[in-house]
Structure 1
C-alpha cells in the first residue's frame, strides 16, 4: 500500500457476500457486513518542496519518481483489461519493492484516461470510514467499466476476498476487472481461484512481475531517473556520476539514488548495501523528527518517543483514536490520556493520516517500515542506527492486545525477518514458542509466511500445527496446508516409518484439498491409501481400520472433484471391509459419515447396490464419503 489519498469516498463495501461451506460440501452465498471499503483512486501531482524526509520522497503515492519502463507489462495488462468477458481477475505477484504498486497505479491512471472508473479496495481493518448508504440493489456505476485494485491481497481472509468479488454493486456496469497485488502466490491463491471457479465461473490468472533492475543496464537507467527526480524535488543539482552496483529491488535502487542526493547535499558518502541503505535513510528520518522537535518546535515529543509511536504505527497500522491511545499506554509510550493526545498529534504532524477517522498512519513504503521495526529491535549489527530496548516488550504487548493487531503485525514482522535474522531469532521465535496460537490468530497469510520462512524451525511449526483446530475454518485452510506441507517435507528426511508417513499423507492431502489444490490433495490421499494397503497386506487385522479410513478419505475427495468412477472404486473397497469378517472393521456412524444423497447417487454407491454394500449400511453412513 502506498497511502495515496482518495479523491472521494465511495465505500460500497459495508455489505457484501461470502462463500462458506455448507454441511453437504456445496458452497452457498451469504451476506456479510463490514468486510471491505472502496474509494476512488487519485493521481495527485508530484510532491514539491525542500523536504528531506525519506519516507515522503520514497512513497510511490507522492509520485516523486516519474514512472518509466514497464511498457510490456502495461501492454499485457491493457490486453487483459480489454479482453472479453464481464468479469476478470488477475494477480500480479513479486517480491517486496519490485514496483507492483507503482505499476498498478500507472495502469489505473491510464485506464481512467480511457474511460474506466479506477477504484481501490481495502480490508475493513485497514481504515475506519463512515459509509455512504446505498441501496443493496444499486450498482456502483450504472454505465461504464470498473477497475478495482486490491493491494496485499494475500493478507485478506479468503471469505472477505470472496465477499469483495461478489459485491453485487460492482457488477452493474459492462465490465469489471479486479487487479490484485501480492508478494507470494501460494495456497491462498489456489483457494481463491477454486472458490471463484465453483461459485461464479470467473476467469482468474496470475503473472509474476519481472525485476526492473534485472540487468546492470536496467538498474543504471532506473537509478539515473530516480536520482534526477529526487534532486529536482529537493531543489538541488543532480550530483551525476556513475550509478553504483546496487543489488535488489526497484525500491532498493530508488533508495540508493535518494541516499546519493542527500549525501551530496551533506558532503558524506552513502552506503550501497541494502541494510546499510535503510539505516542511512531512516537515520535521516530520525533527523527530521529531531528538527521538528528541537529547531522548529512544531512537535513536543522527543525523537525517542516519536520513534516508539512510529514503531507502533508500523505494526498496528492506522487506528481509531481511542484504540491508539490505549495501545500507546499499554506499551509504555505514554502514561496518561493527555500524553497520548499529545503524541498522537505530534505523530500526525510528521505522518498526516490519509483517513480523517484514523490516527498513527504507518510509515511508507512498507519495506521501509519493515526495516524500521527491525532496526528499532535489539540484535542487529548496524552501527549507525541504535536500537531501542523498549521494542522487545512492546512487541509482546502488541501481540497480546487484540486479534486485529496480531493480524497486522505478524505479516510485517515475518516479512522483515527474511532480511533481518535477529528479528526472527531474538523476537519472533521466542514469542511463538511461548504462545504458538498467536500465529493462528494472525490468520492464514501469517501461517503461510511462517511456513515459507527458513529461519522458522520445525519445532515451532509443529507447535503451531498442534494448536490448529482439527478442521480449520475456511479462512485458515490455506495457511494450515502450508504449515503441514513444510512439516511433511521435514519429516520425510527424518523417518521411514510407513505408518507415520501414511497418516501424514492423509492429513496433508486433506489440507491441500481444502485449500483448493485439488489434484495435489488427491495424489497425496492416493499415496496414503497405497502406503496403508501395503501395511494391511502384511498385517490385515492391525491395519484394516486405517486402510478403510484412508479409502473413505480418498473416496470423499474424488466426490468433491466430481470423479464418480474413482469415488465408487475407493468407497466400494471401504464398504467391502465392513463386511469382511476377518478384519472386523466397523462402519462409521453419524455425521462423520455424511455425504449428500445427490453425490451418493452420482457415484453409484447407494443402499443395496453392489455386492460390497451391506443392506442399510450405505444409507445410514451416507455412502462412505467421509473424512
Structure 2
C-alpha cells in the first residue's frame, strides 16, 4: 500500500537570534546575512543558500524560528516546571537537542559515506522501533554534513515541490528527509523527483518504524524508481537499541543526567541507578530514565541514589507530566470548585487532543465535547492549546510528545474508558480519522491494549470510513495510514479502497487503477470473501496483461504480482486446477526478471515458488511440489541471513510449506524440523506483532501437531494443537468471516489428537463443533468447503465409533463417502485418497453393525485405490494400503472366506514390518496389530503353531509400547486363546493373570 505523510522545511541551525521583522524584507535579500549568522554555528546546515529559497517557504521558516525562540525563552531556571509553558517530556524531543549525541558512529559513518559518494544510491531507508534514535541520527547527520549541504525535512504537501524549490536557487548538495515514511501520502512523487533530478547531488533519507506493504508498494513505480527502491532495500539500515559496542546504558544515562540538570538549572542527581531486563534499552527510554532521575532528585531534597525501573520509565515520566498538567490547570483556575476538572479529566482531555488534534480554536472547543464530563469551554481549550501547541503549519493543536509517551497515554486512557473511546472514535472527519488510525496503529506495535482497542473499535472506524466523502488524495492518505496486512483494520481499508476505485472514470485501463483493484481484491480475500475478490483480481490481471504487452519493462512485474494473487484466490475457492497455470505463469515471469535483476526480484521468485508448491500438493502432486518448495526455502534462507528483519517471516512461510510437502510425501521425519523452525520464528514475530503473525503461528502449530501425530508422538501433538485452537477461537471471535474455517480445522485436529490419546469423550465435542462450522460454510461456498465438510464428517464417524456408537457413525461416514466420490470424479488426483479413507471407515462401521457383506465391497474399493496410489507414491500411501489390507482380511474372515483373508493379512504384516524398520515410533504399534490379526487368521485356519509365533511377536512389541499404548491386554487375551488351543493350560493361566494385572483386576 502507498504510505505517505506530512513534510516541513526546517533549518537546523543553532543560532536562533534572527529578529522576526527582518523577514518582511524578503528572503532573497537576507540570504547572505542569514548565512553569516548560521554559518558560525554547529548546525548551520542550510547556510546562506536557505535565504534564497522560494518565498513560499518564508512563513514556515519564520514560524519555526519564532516558535523555537519562544520555547527556549520559556525554559525554567529552576526545577519548577509547572511555571513554564512546556511539560518535562518536551525535553526529550530530538529537535530540542538537550542531550548530547552519543554512539551510532558506524551508522553515521555509513550515512556520511553515502552522501559523499558521487554515484551513491539516491535513497536510503532507516528503520527501527520507536525510541531507538532514528530522528536523533538524522539530526546528527545533518549537523555533520555542515553548511556545504542543504537539509530539508519534507512536510506534507511538499513532496512534489521541495526539490524543485531548492533547484530554483542552487545546485548545492541537498539531504531530503521524510520521517514516519510509512504513513506518508505521495511519497512516490518525491522519489520520482529525486531519481529524475538533473541538478547537483541529492539524497533522500526515509525514516520508518518498519518496512512493510507501504515499502513494497513504493517499489512498484516506473523502472528508475524500482531500481532506487531495490538499492535502498539492499542497503537498508536497521537500528537496534545498541548504539555502540563501547558505550553502556549506564554511560548514556550518566551523560544525559548532566545535560538535563544543566538545562533545568538544578544539581545533577547523586546517581541514577536503572533496573532493567537483559538487553539494551531504547535510547528514548534511557533518556527518559535520566530525566526522571533528575526530576525526582530535584523534588526530593537530599535524596541519595535515584532508582528507575526502565520497564516502566515512560509511566514514571508520564506521572511527572500529569503533575505538570495539574499545576498548570490549577494556575489557570480550571480545578477550583465542585465543577472543577479532576486529574482523570485532565488526562482524558490531553489524550483526546493528542489522538485527534484540532485545526483551530473552535475545533479545540468542540473536541472537549468528546470527553465525558468536560464542558466545551474556551478556557479549557486555550489551556490545552497552550500546553501542546501545534508545529508551524500543522493546525492549532499539537499533542503530547515524544510519540511513544503519547501512544502509551492515549492507549491507557481509551482502554480504561469505553465512553472516551466511543467519544473519540465517532463522527470523525477525514483529518481526525487519519490521525486516530495513525496513532493507534503505531501504538499497537508496543502495547497489547492498543491492539485490543483496535479490535473493539473497528465498527466505529468502519462507520467513519463508509460515510467519508473526500478527494482521492485524502482517501489514499487514509488508506496509507492503515497497516497492511492488519486484521483489525482490513474492513476499514477495504471500504476506503472501494471509494478510491470509485473516483476513477468508467473504463479506466491505467496501471494505477489496476493497482488499486489488486489491493481491493487482496483486502477482500483477507476478510474471508474470496468469491468477491476473484472478479476484481481477474480484472486487474486483464489490465496489467494489456499494459505488459505494451510496456513490458514497466508492467511485467505487476502482472506477475496479480497472477500470484489470482492463484491464491482460486486456491481459497477450492479450485486448484485453475490456480496452477496462473501461478506457473507468475513463476516464469519472476524467474526471467530475477535473472536480469537478481537483487530486486529473487524475493518475488521465492514467493511465487512457494505458492507453486502449494498448488501442486493441493492437486495431489507432492512430488512436483517438493523442488519448488525447496528452492523457495533456499532463496529465502539466503535473504534472511542478509536481512533478517525483512525476510525471516517469508522464510518461516516457506519452511511451513516445505513441511506440508514432506508430509504429503509420507516423510514426517523431514517435515518436523522445518516446521519447528517455522514455529520458532512465528512465535518470536507474534510476540512483537500479534496482529500480523498470530494467525501464522496458529497455522504452524497446527501443522506441528500433525507431524508429531504422524511420528507416533501424540502426547507432544496435543498441546501445540490446543494452543492453535485457542488462538483461532480468539481470532474467529473478532473476525468470523476470515477465521471460522481455520477454527474448524483446528478443532478437527484437536479431536484427532484426543482420539489418539484414548480420550474419545473429549474428542467428540471438538469434532462436532468443527462439523457444524463446515456445514454452514459449505452451504455458502460449496466449492471451497465441501471437501472440509467431508473430512469433518469422516472424523465424526470415527469419534462415534470410538465411543461404541456405530449406528451414529454410519450416516456421517456415508455422507462423507457421497461428497468425496463426487469430488474424486472431478479431481481424482486430489480426492481419491480421501475417498479411500472414507470407504475404509464405512467398511469398519458396517462390520461393527454386523453387516460384513456390505462392509466388504467398500473395503475392497479402498484397497484398490490405495494400491494404485502406493504404486505412484509409496512413501505416502504404503501405510494406508497396509491398513486397508488388514481391514480386508478381517471382513473376509467374518464372511468365512479364510483362504482369501490370509494373504491380505500377510501382505499387511509385510508392509508394516518394513515401515516399522524405518519409523519404529510411528509403525511398531501398527505392526503389533497386524501380527495379532495374522495370529487370528492362522488360528482360524487350524495352524496354531504359526499363530503362536505371530502372537508372541505382537506381545513382545506391545510390552515395550505398553506405557504409551495400554492395549497389551488384548494381545495377551489372544495369546491365551492360542495356548489353550495348543493344549498348554499353564501358559493360558499365566496369560490370564497378566490380563488381570494389566486391567487392575
Shorter-chain-normalised TM-score: which range? 0.5 to 0.7
Residue 221 (structure 2) pairs with residue 221 (structure 1): no
The alignment partner of 1:410 has SS state of helix
Which of 458, 464, 478 matches 1:443?
Answer: 478
In structure 2, how many angstroms separate the alpha carbons of the residues matched to 1:562 and 1:350?
A: 54
Give the match's secondary structure for 1:179: strand
Change (3 A) 1:170 1:150: farther
Matched ranges for 1:53-132 at <5 A: 53-85=87-119, 88-111=122-145, 113-124=146-157
Match of 2:327 in 1: 291
User: Which residue of 236, 261, 268 corresponds with 1:237?
Assistant: 268
Aligned to 2:238: 208
The 1:374/1:136 distance shift into structure 2, 3 A limit, reads closer
Matches within 5 A, 1:135-150: 139-150=167-178
State yes or no: 1:153 paired with 2:181: yes
Cα distance, 1:188 vs. partner? 1.3
Deviations along 1:314-344, whole A, 9 cap, x unmatched?
11246233443443445568655xx23x233
Equivalent position of 1:417 in the other structure: 444
Tell me, in whole angstroms, the C-alpha distance in 1 between the residues paired with 2:491 and 2:322: 40
Q: What SS does the corresponding residue of 1:148 show, helix, strand or coil?
A: strand
Partner in structure 1 of residue 200 of structure 2 = 174
Instruction: Work out the CA distance in 2 between the residues paired with 1:58 and 1:221.
Output: 17
Inter-CA distance 125–147: structure 2 relative to 1 (3 Å threshold): closer
- Matches for 1:2-401 after TM superposition, within 5 Å: 48-49=75-76, 50-51=78-79, 52=81, 53-85=87-119, 88-111=122-145, 113-124=146-157, 139-157=167-185, 160-166=186-192, 171=197, 173-195=199-221, 197-198=223-224, 202=228, 204-205=231-232, 206-212=236-242, 218-234=248-264, 235-240=266-271, 242-245=273-276, 248-267=281-300, 271-274=308-311, 276-295=312-331, 302=341, 306-317=346-357, 319-329=359-369, 335=375, 339-340=377-378, 342-355=379-392, 358-379=395-416, 390-397=419-426, 400-401=427-428
SS of residue in 2 equivalent to 1:436:
helix
The 2-side partners of 1:218 and 1:520 are apart by 48
Q: Secondary structure at the match of 2:122?
A: strand
CA distance in 2, matches of 1:446, 1:226: 34
Distance 1:228 1:182 in 2: 30
Query: Offset of 1:363 from its aligned partner?
Result: 1.4
Asked if the contact 1:116–1:147 (Cα under 8 Å) also holds between the matched residues in 2, the reply is yes
Tell whether the 8 Å contact from 1:317 to 1:362 is kept in structure 2 after alignment: yes
Task: Check the 8 A contact 1:2/1:365 in 2, yes or no.
Answer: no
The C-alpha deviation readout for 1:3-56, integer Å capped at 9, x for no partner, is 997579999xxxxxxxxxxxxxxxxxxxxxx9xx98699897996533543312
Q: Deviations over 1:137-187 (max 9, x none)?
A: 883432311111111011012xx1123345599957412111111111122
Query: Cα deviation per residue 1:69-125 (whole Å; 9 max; x = unaligned)?
Result: 1111111111111112498111111111110001001111222x2411111111149
Q: CA 1:123/1:357 → structure 2, altered by over 3 Å: closer, same or farther?
A: closer
Matches of 1:79 and 1:508, distance apart in 2:
46
Taking the aligned partners of 2:500 and 2:9, their CA distance within structure 1 comes to 40
Tell me if structure 1 keeps the 8 A contact 2:497–2:516: no
- Equivalent-residue separation in structure 1 for 2:102 and 2:556 (angstroms): 37
CA change 1:314–1:462 in 2 (3 A) is closer
Provide the C-alpha distance between the structure 2 equivalents of 1:3 and 1:244, rounded to a whole number of angstroms: 38
- In 1, Cα distance between the equivalents of 2:110 and 2:537? 41
Contact in 2 for aligned 1:66/1:229 (Cα 8 Å): yes
Structure 2: distance between partners of 1:167 and 1:323: 36
How far is the alpha carbon of 1:295 from its aligned partner? 4.7
Spell out the pairing of 1:538-553 with structure 2 (5 A cutoff). 550=582
1:58·1:255 contact (CA, 8 Å) conserved in 2?
yes
| Cross-structure match for 2:663 | none
TM-score by length of 1: 0.63
Q: Distance in 1 between matches of 2:387 and 2:243?
A: 32
Structure 2: distance between partners of 1:2 and 1:264: 39
Q: Relative to structure 1, is the Cα distance of residues 147 and 536 closer, same or farther in structure 2, using a 3 angstrom cutoff?
A: closer
Cα root mean square deviation, aligned = 5.5
Name the CA shift for 1:444/1:219 in 2 (closer, same or farther; >3 Å).
farther
Pair 1:169–1:144, CA change in 2 (3 A): farther
Aligned pairs (5 A) from 1:462-477: 465=494, 468-469=497-498
Q: Structure 1's 69 and 148: CA in aligned 2 closer, same or farther, altered over 3 A?
A: same
Residues 1:528 and 1:181: Cα distance change in structure 2 (over 3 Å): closer
Counterpart Cα distance in 1 of 2:407 and 2:514: 24
Q: Answer yes or no: is the 8 Å Cα contact 2:329–2:335 preserved in 1.
A: yes
Relative to structure 1, the CA distance from residue 3 to residue 165 in structure 2 (aligned partners, 3 Å threshold; closer, same or farther) is closer
Give unpaired runs (5+ residues) of structure 1: 12-33, 380-387, 492-498, 538-542, 565-627
Secondary structure of 1:122 counterpart: coil
Looking at secondary structure, tell me which structure has more helix per residue: 2
Partner secondary structure for residue 327 of structure 1: helix
Flag the 1:551–1:151 CA change in 2: closer, same or farther, 3 A. Answer: closer
CA spacing shift, 1:529–1:404, aligned 2, 3 Å:
closer
Matched residue, 1:432: 458
Counting matched residue pairs gives 495
- C-alpha distance in structure 1 between counterparts of 2:499 and 2:162, whole Å: 40
Q: Is the 8 A contact 1:187 1:481 kept in 2?
A: no
**How far apart, CA to CA, are the structure 2 residues paired with 1:210 and 1:61?**
21
Structure 2 CA distance for partners of 1:249 and 1:4, relative to 1, 3 Å: farther
Contact map agreement 2:462 2:491 (CA 8 A) in 1? no
Does the Cα contact within 8 Å between 1:87 and 1:176 map onto a contact in 2?
Answer: no
Distance 2:523 2:418 in 1: 36
- Equivalent residues in 2 for 1:470-549 (5 A)? 484=522, 521=561, 524=564
1:376 CA displacement: 1.7
Distance change >3 Å, CA 305–CA 360, structure 1 → 2: farther
Q: What residue number does 2:33 align with?
A: none
Distance 2:255 2:517 in 1: 40
Local SS of the residue matching 1:292: helix
Q: 1:507 to 1:304 in 2, by over 3 A?
A: farther
Q: Which stretch of structure 1 is more off in the superposition, 196-205 or 257-266?
A: 196-205
Q: Where does the alignment leave 5 or more consecutive residues of structure 2 unmatched?
A: 1-5, 13-19, 28-55, 82-86, 467-474, 505-511, 545-553, 597-1001
